[in-house]
């Protein structure tokens, strides 16, 4: 079976600094895999190698069946990159960003594609406003919408919710779940453990240049000693308080 | 994927031209410095400068036009740097496009923006009594020379935009280019300058370019200056293009 992403022994150094020291990772077709790691662990470096923006020093990586080194054009036709590593154009309007992306992906009727996505991502009203005036959540929704043009089978989401408020984060989560339902393979990098728990079929942890753990959440939990039962008084979390107080507006925006 | 070079370049040029038209401040600052210099030299210093031209503004304009281009290309470098640092350049590079289109879009945008700035500066010069007996052919030669000069400096700007580590650094590369016309025949005849400076002034590229444009605008034959100027511009264009492409490939995948 052909995997969406297959990485073997990937290495990359910046001068003396060895960022990736033999990364092995597999993303099955249609799966959402979360890549966890602290700041500077090399998550973004790995994503950039897989999206053909950087060349690895050693090892192999195949995306959608194509080698990133020898067939970069075929890889680019099969992927899209969003989040921290890919910006939206702040001077253009939301619609102009989508039309530009549709033209660069060479899809027929860029305008119709843009209008459809504006509707789907609740950005129709803001379509003719410059992106500089958008909120963080709207901007990230536009970012994800741009990455869907041309239906790429593999999507890289590089820290898609970093810097977002809790409300906007839930909006982006809902979008990612929707993606997964349509069979798109997703490699998601994040620093937030609860994000990986909420979205991913499998979780891989990148630490000191290697994948130290790779498995489902249940498998990962099984690595620890069996759970002990404790009785604790259940206090509401700050998140519960936040969303209870903002309850009305939350229902309005979370699909 | 190079089959897409033309449509991709058109799409991306449309985008960066919008950046120019939507930030009116950059258009104004591009032309305000050369216009201020034009007025300063015509009305303040000009009276004390001896040239062989009948009016000082006729003598001065070619140098001011080169300074206009030198100021204009600094924004090209800044726009490219901002695209790189914001991450949108990487987004474009991760798409199935003809990759050089991302650079060509900036180059064509630079050309359009600079041509607009040059037209504005010439119109202002006409307002302060610049007059030229030059015919269509001579004006076409001047336009051609300025376009080649703009392309050459634009590719220098691409090197700066690709290698700078800050927006200020990307823009600052043009300071020496703006300063170079001062040590040339652009503002004063070189024969008043002392020995070594005069030698430098007479053999640096700005002097033949300025002399050729000045002769063309005065309705006189530019002589060998035209070919020397063209040779300088084309040589700079080729070297800058090669260096910019090398920088691009070293930084890219």
Digit-coded pLDDT (tens) for B118-156: 999 999 999 988 888 888 999 999 999 999 999 999 999
Task: Kindly indicate the confidence band of residue A175, based on its pLDDT and cuts at 50, 70 and 90.
Answer: confident
Q: Is the pLDDT of residue A195 over 70?
A: yes
Does B27 lie at the interface with A, CB-CB under 8 angstroms?
no
Query: What is the spatial distance between Cα A23 and Cα A211, in angstroms, rounded to a whole number?
Result: 6
Q: Which two tokens stand for residue A236?
A: 């509401």
Q: Is the pLDDT of residue B241 over 80?
A: yes
Does the distance separating the beta carbons of A77 and B8 come in below 8 Å?
Answer: no
Chain B environment of A106 (Cβ under 8 Å):
4, 7, 96
Q: Which two tokens stand for residue A230?
A: 């404790």
Q: Quick one: pLDDT at residue A255?
A: 45
Chain B environment of A154 (Cβ under 8 Å):
none
Question: CB count, 10 Å around CB of B10?
Answer: 15
Q: Which residue has the higher pLDDT, A232 or B205?
A: B205
Does A105 lie at the interface with B, CB-CB under 8 angstroms?
yes
B252/chain A closest Cα distance in angstroms: 7
CB within 8 A of A103, min separation 6: which ones? A110, B7, B8, B11
Q: Is the pLDDT of residue B85 over 80?
A: yes
Q: Quick one: pLDDT at residue A254?
A: 45
Buried/exposed B59-83: b ≥16 CB within 10 Å, e otherwise: bbbbbbbbbbbbbbbbbbbbbbbbb
Q: Quick one: pLDDT at residue B24?
A: 78
Looking at every residue in chain B, the average pLDDT score rounds to 89
- Nearest CA among A85, A247, A82 for reference residue A166: A247
Phi, psi of B57 (to 5 degrees): -65, -35
Looking at every residue in chain A, the average pLDDT score rounds to 87
List pLDDT tens digits, range A24-80. Answer: 999 998 899 999 988 888 899 999 999 999 999 999 999 999 999 999 999 999 999
Number of structural domains found in chain A: 1
Domain of residue A93, residue span: 5-253
Q: Quick one: pLDDT at residue A99?
A: 97
List, in sequence order, every residue forming a beta bridge with A67; answer none if it has no partner: A62
Count of helix runs (H) and strand runs (E) in chain A? 10, 10
Q: Is the pLDDT of residue A249 over 80?
A: no
Q: Quick one: pLDDT at residue B57?
A: 87
CB within 8 A of A35, min separation 6: which ones? A25, A43, A46, A187, A188, A189, A190, A204, A205, A206
Distance separating the N- and C-terminal Cα atoms of chain B = 16
In a 3-state reduction of DSSP, which class is residue B198? helix
Question: CB count, 10 Å around CB of B195?
Answer: 7
Q: Is the pLDDT of residue A127 over 60?
A: yes
Task: Kindly indicate the confidence band of residue B176, based on its pLDDT and cuts at 50, 70 and 90.
Answer: confident
| CB-closest option in B23, B95, B252 to A104 | B95
Task: Kindly indicate the confidence band of residue B117, based on its pLDDT and cuts at 50, 70 and 90.
Answer: very high
Q: Which two tokens stand for residue B188?
A: 């004063």
Look at A154-168, A241-255, B222-236 and tell me which has the smallest mean pLDDT.
Answer: A241-255
Q: Quick one: pLDDT at residue A252?
A: 46
Look at A149-158, A233-242, B220-229 and tell me which has the smallest mean pLDDT.
Answer: A233-242
Substitution target from A106, A113, A114, A132 for chain B, most B beta carbons within 10 A: A106
ipTM exceeds 0.90, yes or no: no
Is residue A202 within 8 Å of A31, Cβ to Cβ?
Answer: yes
Q: Is the pLDDT of residue B90 over 50?
A: yes
Does A198 lie at the interface with B, CB-CB under 8 angstroms?
no
Q: Quick one: pLDDT at residue B49?
A: 78
Chain B environment of A57 (Cβ under 8 Å):
none
Q: Quick one: pLDDT at residue A248?
A: 54
Phi, psi of B154 (to 5 degrees): -60, -40
Please report, rounded to a whole number, the percentage of residues in chain A having pLDDT higher than 70. 96
Q: Quick one: pLDDT at residue B122?
A: 95
Does the distance separating the beta carbons of A100 and B95 come in below 8 Å?
Answer: no
List pLDDT tens digits, range A71-123. Answer: 999 999 999 998 776 689 999 999 999 999 999 999 999 999 999 999 988 89
Give the CA count within 13 Å in the CB-facing half-sphere of B29: 10
């Amino acid at each position: 079976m052909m995997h969406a992403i297959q990485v073997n022994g990937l290495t990359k150094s910046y001068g003396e600094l060895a960022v990736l020291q033999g990364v092995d990772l597999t993303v099955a077709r249609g799966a959402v895999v979360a890549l966890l790691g602290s700041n500077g662990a090399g998550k973004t470096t790995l994503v950039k190698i897989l999206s053909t923006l950087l060349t690895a020093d050693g090892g192999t990586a195949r995306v959608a069946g194509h080698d990133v080194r020898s067939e970069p054009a075929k890889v680019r036709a099969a992927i899209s990159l969003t989040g921290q590593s890919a910006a939206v154009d702040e001077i253009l309007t939301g619609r102009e960003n989508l039309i530009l992306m549709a033209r660069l992906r060479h899809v027929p009727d860029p305008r119709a594609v843009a209008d459809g996505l504006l509707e789907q991502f609740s950005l129709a009203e803001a379509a003719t406003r410059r992106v500089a005036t958008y909120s963080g959540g709207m901007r990230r929704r536009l970012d994800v919408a741009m990455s869907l043009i041309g239906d790429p089978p593999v999507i890289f989401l590089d820290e898609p919710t970093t810097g977002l408020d809790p409300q906007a984060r839930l909006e982006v989560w809902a979008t990612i779940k929707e993606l997964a339902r349509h069979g798109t393979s997703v490699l998601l990098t994040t620093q937030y453990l609860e994000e990986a728990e909420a979205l991913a079929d499998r979780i891989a942890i990148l630490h000191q240049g290697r994948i130290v753990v790779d498995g489902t959440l249940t498998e990962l939990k099984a690595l620890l000693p069996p759970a002990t039962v404790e009785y604790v008084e259940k206090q509401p979390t700050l998140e519960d308080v936040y969303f209870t107080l903002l309850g009305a507006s939350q229902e309005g925006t979370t699909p | 994927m190079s089959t897409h070079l033309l449509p991709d370049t058109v799409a991306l040029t449309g985008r960066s031209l919008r950046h120019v038209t939507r930030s009116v401040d950059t258009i104004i600052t591009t032309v305000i410095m050369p216009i201020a210099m034009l007025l300063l030299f015509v009305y303040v210093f000009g009276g004390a400068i001896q040239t062989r031209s009948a009016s000082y503004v006729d003598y001065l304009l070619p140098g001011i036009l080169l300074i206009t281009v030198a100021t204009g290309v600094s924004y090209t470098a800044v726009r490219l740097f901002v695209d790189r640092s914001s991450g949108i350049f990487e987004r474009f590079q991760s798409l199935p496009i003809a990759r050089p289109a991302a650079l060509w879009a900036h180059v064509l945008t630079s050309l359009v923006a600079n041509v607009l700035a040059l037209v504005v500066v010439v119109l202002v010069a006409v307002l302060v009594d610049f007059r030229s007996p030059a015919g269509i052919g001579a004006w076409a030669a001047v336009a051609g020379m300025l376009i080649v000069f703009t392309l050459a400096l634009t590719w220098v700007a691409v090197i700066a935009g690709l290698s700078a580590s800050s927006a200020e650094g990307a823009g600052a590369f043009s300071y020496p280019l703006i300063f170079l016309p001062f040590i040339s025949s652009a503002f004063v005849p070189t024969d008043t300058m002392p020995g070594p400076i005069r030698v430098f002034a007479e053999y640096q590229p700005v002097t033949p370019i300025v002399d050729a444009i000045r002769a063309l605008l005065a309705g006189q034959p530019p002589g060998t200056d035209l070919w020397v100027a063209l040779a300088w511009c084309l040589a700079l264009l080729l070297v800058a293009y090669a260096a910019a492409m090398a920088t691009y490939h070293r930084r890219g995948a």
